[in-house]
Amino acid sequence: MSFGFKNRFLRSAAAIAVLAAVGTPVLAEEIFVVSGATGSDLQDFPAIVKPWEDKTGNKVTIVPMPSSTSDQFGQYRLWLAAGATDIDLYQTDVIWAPQLADHFVDLTEAGKDLIAANFPSIIQSQTVNGKLVALPIFTDAPALYYRKDLLEKYGIEVPKTWDELTAAATKIQEGERAAGSKDFWGYVWQGNAYEGLTCDALEWVKSFGGGQIVEADGTISINNPKAVKALETATGWVGTISPEGVLAYGEEEARGVWQTGNAAFMRNWPYAYALGNGDDSAVKGKFEVTTLPYGAEGDSSAATLGGWNIAVSKYSKHQEAAVSLAVYLAGPEAQKMRAIMETHLPTIQALYDDPEIAEKSPIIPQWKNVFLSAVPRPSAPTLGKYNEVSSKFWSAVHETLSGNGSAADNLAGLEADLTDLKGDAW
Letter string b/e over residues 163-190, b meaning 16 or more CB atoms within 10 A of that residue's CB: eebbebbbbbbeebeeeeeeebbbbbbb
In the complex, minimum distance from the CB of residue 199 to ligand GLC, in angstroms, rounded to a whole number: 5
Q: How many chain residues touch ligand GLC (CB under 6 A)?
A: 12
Q: Which helix (H) or strand (E) holds 371?
A: helix 368-372
Single-letter code of the amino acid located at 188? V
Helix (H) or strand (E) holding 165: helix 162-178
Answer for the pair 19, 26: CB distance below 8 angstroms, yes or no. Answer: yes
Contacting residue, 39, 186, 191, 196, with ligand GLC by CB under 6 A: 196
Which residue's CB is nearer to ligand GLC, number 104 or number 271?
Answer: 271
The yes or no reply on residue 93 touching ligand GLC (CB under 6 A) is yes
In the bound state with ligand GLC, the residue whose beta carbon lies nearer, of 63 and 374, is 374
* Inter-CA distances, 379 with 33, 403, 419, Å: 24, 28, 16
- Burial classification of residue 287, based on how many CB atoms lie within 10 Å of its CB (0-12 exposed, 13-18 middle, 19 or more buried): buried
Tell me the window of 20-28, 272-280, 284-292, 304-312 that interacts with ligand GLC (CB under 6 A). 304-312
By rule CB under 6 A, what string of x and - marks binding of each residue 199-238 to ligand GLC? x---------------------------------------
Cβ neighbours of 6 (radius 10 Å): 10
**SS3 at position 32:** strand
Taking CB positions, which residue lies at the least distance from ligand GLC?
Answer: 306
Query: By CB under 6 A, is residue 111 in contact with ligand GLC?
Result: no
Query: Nearer Cβ to ligand GLC, position 172 or 348?
Result: 348
**Cβ 407 vs Cβ 232: under 8 Å:** yes
Q: How far is the CB of 262 from ligand GLC (least distance, A)?
A: 21
Among 58, 69, 212, 233, binds ligand GLC (CB under 6 A): 69
d(CA 309, CA 306) in angstroms, rounded, equals 10
Residue 378 Cβ, how far from ligand GLC at the closest point, in Å? Answer: 13
Please identify which residue in 30, 176, 195, 399 interacts with ligand GLC, judged by CB under 6 A.
Answer: 195
Map residues 305-344 to x or -, x wherever contact with ligand GLC holds by CB under 6 A. -xxx------------------------------------
Q: How far is the CB of 387 from ligand GLC (least distance, A)?
A: 11
Sign of torsion over alpha carbons 393, 394, 395, 396: positive
- Strand locations in 156-259, DSSP E? 185-188
Nearer to ligand GLC, 316 or 347 (CB): 347
Instruction: Assign 123 to helix, strand or coil.
Output: helix
Q: Which of 90, 204, 269, 386 binds ligand GLC (CB under 6 A)?
A: 269
Toward ligand GLC, which CB reaches closer, 223 or 387? 387
Amino acid at position 249, single letter: Y
Residue type, 392: K
Window 113-142: residues binding ligand GLC (CB under 6 A): 140
